[in-house]
Amino acid sequence: MMVRELYESLRPKEVRMFHWSAAATVAALWFSLAWRDAWVLLLVPMIAGWFVFLVRRNRRLDPLGHDDADDDPDFF
């Protein structure tokens, strides 16, 4: 709860700095792990790429989510 209040009280410039610092931290951790094991350099971007591909394909095929099984009376 305290973190949410802190985040909501930030100005736009501070929010932008927070996002860039989080991205830099993630990149530094990724490279430090990749320094130990080179497969991380390959697997993390491949997994992220497949995730983006699948999400975009799902949004293109069913953009509004109307094909849910919960609404189908013949599903049960």
Average pLDDT rounded to a whole number, residues 3-19:
86
- Could you read off the pLDDT of 34-73 as tens digits, one per residue? 888 888 788 888 999 999 999 988 888 776 666 655 555 6
**Tell me, what's the pLDDT at 9?**
87
**Tell me, what's the pLDDT at 74?**
60
Cα separation of 14 and 17, whole Å?
A: 5
Q: 18 or 65, which is more confident?
A: 18
**Tell me, what's the pLDDT at 53?**
94
- 57 burial type by CB count under 10 A (0-12 exposed, 13-18 middle, 19+ buried): exposed
